[in-house]
Structure 1
Amino acid sequence: MSPRRLHPAPWHELSLLIGTWLAVLAYVLPLALVGPIARAFGGEPEFRDVGDTFTKAAEIARYADLALARAAAGNPLPPPPRLLGDPIAARVAWSMAILSSAAFVLIAVAASRQGTAGFARAVGLDRFQFERLWLPGALVALTFPLVSLYAAAVEALGWHAIAPAPPTLDAVLRDPAALALYGLATVIAAPLSEEVFFRGFLFSGALSWGFWPAAAFSSALFSLAHTDAGAVIPFFLIGLLVAWLYWRTGCLWDAVAFHVLFNGLSFILLVTRY
């Protein structure tokens, strides 16, 4: 069966606007609940470690200066700084990420006003060709080293503002349950939900504007959603590539496959590195 070009979806600007704002809430609210839920389970609210080794050393030095000053004045010592993320909070954070991913899918379907079956047909979730999976795999093999080269180049040039931030996952890596939830969130839940929302809902809904405006619109929101200034450029370009892949085949599963392979490779390298 030859690939089928993607046609514009039957929802337009108002649906895109409503869906985008609902997705913002679906991202922000679960994140805001991480601290309170972690405390309810006996943990601390912070699920990330404090910076790199030098940042931690600076925090310790500031604490030591303050503790000495208070001791010399006969005042109570301040509480020591918390430098390590809490494993309970890490479990909660990635559980909430999975729930947020589910919310993204529900929002896309609801905002499209097509029903589950109608949405699946419109975005190409009802057609899948196993023999075509070589294409997402080949694109991952091409783009993954290019992203690594980009990160190395901007670091070497001293352009730290646009350098991708290293993952702060020490708390996750110290806890098997948190690591399992992180893997489920990043390798399964995020690829499916982000492709359904950013490509299936936003890109196909904006395709009546033309390929490039729709691809740029969905890719810009996709890159900004990762809340890392250093990831904006590479993730925007990846968004354009995945939009092209989706448009070329008319099947959203191809975009999902690319995302699963890319994130899966990142997860494997992260685990083996630590």
Structure 2
Amino acid sequence: MTTPPLRPAPWNELHTLAGLWAALAAYLLPLALIAPTAQLLGAHSQFRDAGDTFHNLASLATYADLALARATAGNPLPPTPRLLADPITVRIAWSMAILSSALFILIALTAPRRPLPTIAHALGLHRFQADRLWLPALCVATLYPLTGIYSTIVAHLGLTQLAPTPDPATLSPILRDPAALALYSTATVIAAPLSEEAIYRGLAFTGTLRWGFLPAATFSALLFALSHRDLGTLLPSLLAGITMAWLYYRSGSLWDAIAFHVLYNSLSLILLLTRN
């Protein structure tokens, strides 16, 4: 059996842990800046719709009943409910997501406290081979239908919380605004694959590979799955994370994991656009 070309990183677990804490701050800080930035631009801080179509219709009906009752009694009308996200704030939110991705990459390149050429060599960034991309594509073609099967099974069992379904309150504002859609596409197809692979596979997996492949792959995949903050995507993200770790480990190049991530997210984006 041929030994995989990937070796444990020249940085240790303390560097990895420091980088992960820094990545958490790099996620939370741009998120916290969305509302203040929106207010500076005169926009409302809401970047998600209040709910799906049925929730919004129910809210409008409740408001109409209350407004009618107050008007009949001669009382002041209640404040109009805000059901739709502010398009400016939606653009700000996805701009902040791209900023967060840039910070992720910066952290992955600085947390190991090694020269950039050393880090690039450890991650196999010099080993890009286009003729090897068929394997990430094959893995996407395998895992994507499996995710659909998993979603069907848990839905059939009545476990709707475990079904990986898109959140209309988040996606509807994006689809209503071409600028927001462009930012979302950039964040999803380019920024997220580069930054998340730099942190979860590049820093975390490589930095713990001395534990062995499976423990390091599971550790990095679990971090990746939990970062999505969605119970429905927990298991599919965990499986995808382990697959990307395997692709990286097998080739010795982080580009293989990035290629899988780009293809998977691109397919999700295409399906989202064709369904709406």
Deviation at residue 4 of structure 1 after TM alignment: 4.2
Distance of 2:187 and 2:274 partners within structure 1:
18
Gaps of 5+ in 2: none
Show the 5 A alignment for 1:202-213.
202-213=204-215
Show the 5 A alignment for 1:46-125.
46-125=46-125
One-letter amino acid matched to 2:90: A
Distance of 1:72 and 1:36 partners within structure 2:
39
Deviating above 3 A after TM superposition, structure 1's stretches of 4 or more consecutive aligned residues are none
Conserved 8 A contact 1:47-1:86: yes
- Pairing 1:159–2:159 present: yes
- CA deviations 1:241-268 (Å, max 9, x no partner) are 1111111111000000000011011111
SS in 1 for 2:179: helix
- CA deviations 1:95-136 (Å, max 9, x no partner) are 100000010011111111113222111111121111101111
Q: What is the count of residue pairs matched by the alignment?
A: 273
CA RMSD of aligned residues (A): 1.5
Q: In the alignment, which residue of structure 1 is the partner of 2:37?
A: 37
One-letter amino acid matched to 1:170: S
Conserved 8 A contact 1:3-1:250: no
Q: In the alignment, which residue of structure 2 is the partner of 1:182?
A: 184
SS in 2 for 1:149: helix
One-letter amino acid matched to 1:268: I
Deviation at residue 63 of structure 1 after TM alignment: 1.9
SS in 1 for 2:209: helix
Distance of 1:29 and 1:58 partners within structure 2:
34
Q: In the alignment, which residue of structure 1 is the partner of 2:141?
A: 141
- CA deviations 1:214-256 (Å, max 9, x no partner) are 0111001100111111111110011111111111111000000
- Calculate percent identity across the aligned residue pairs: 59
One-letter amino acid matched to 1:166: P
One-letter amino acid matched to 2:68: L
Length-normalised TM-score, structure 2: 0.94
Deviation at residue 38 of structure 1 after TM alignment: 1.7
Q: In the alignment, which residue of structure 2 is the partner of 1:257?
A: 259
Distance of 1:20 and 1:70 partners within structure 2:
53
Distance of 2:56 and 2:154 partners within structure 1:
24
Question: Structure 1 residues 66 and 115 mapped into 2: Cα distance closer, same or farther (>3 Å)?
Answer: farther
Length-normalised TM-score, structure 1: 0.95
One-letter amino acid matched to 1:251: S
- CA deviations 1:134-177 (Å, max 9, x no partner) are 11111111111111221222122110221224232111111111
Q: Out of 222, 228, 242, which is 1:220 matched to?
A: 222
Distance of 1:10 and 1:69 partners within structure 2:
70
Conserved 8 A contact 1:165-1:228: no
